[in-house]
Amino acid sequence: MNQETIENNLKKIYYRLVLLAFFLVAGIYLIKYFMLPSAAVVTHSKIWAITIASLAGIFGLALPIFYRTYFIYKLKNEKRISPQLFLKFEKNILYIALATPYFLILSLGLNLPERSHILIILFSLYALYYYYPSAKKVAFEMKIFRIKSQETT
């Protein structure tokens, strides 16, 4: 498994998760503001707003850092890491970090205050930007984890 294969696999996951979240957010906005104005009757509470915004921050910032630290700690005595294990690690990081935009969907559905939406959007933008699997980032990560590209047979 070489760098290009890893990068392509990660990009497929990335775009699938991001596009699904985008279309769900757009659908909620369409339903909420154009089709059914009475759909926004769900009342909100500060506890829900704080909980959902905190979960967005945890999934967008804290959990990926903790998972990366755990992965490094678990494999600290290894001389080399297999590309398959690295790909699994990177996929898990993407799944964790890209759960953040889905909290916006929940926040919009529960009609939480605008401050919660803005905070969740900021966490989402950070996760979308930082965890994008570019060729440069994948190459750097592979270098850090001492992964040699293998040709598939």
Contacts of 58-64 with C-beta under 8 Å, sequence gap 24+, read 59/96, 59/97, 59/99, 59/100, 59/103, 59/123, 59/127, 60/97, 60/100, 60/123, 60/124, 60/126, 60/127, 61/123, 61/126, 61/127, 63/96, 63/97, 64/93, 64/96, 64/97, 64/127, 64/131
Could you tell me if residue 42 is inside a domain? yes
Could you tell me if residue 81 is inside a domain? yes
CA distance 57 to 65: 12
What pTM did the predictor assign? 0.86
Q: Residue 106: which domain range?
A: 3-144
Query: What pLDDT does residue 39 have?
Result: 52
Could you tell me if residue 152 is inside a domain? no
Could you tell me if residue 149 is inside a domain? no
In the chain, how many domains are there?
1
| Structural tokens at position 89 | 């690690």
Q: What is the pLDDT of residues 36-78, one digit of tens each?
A: 655 555 566 789 999 999 999 999 999 999 999 999 999 888 8
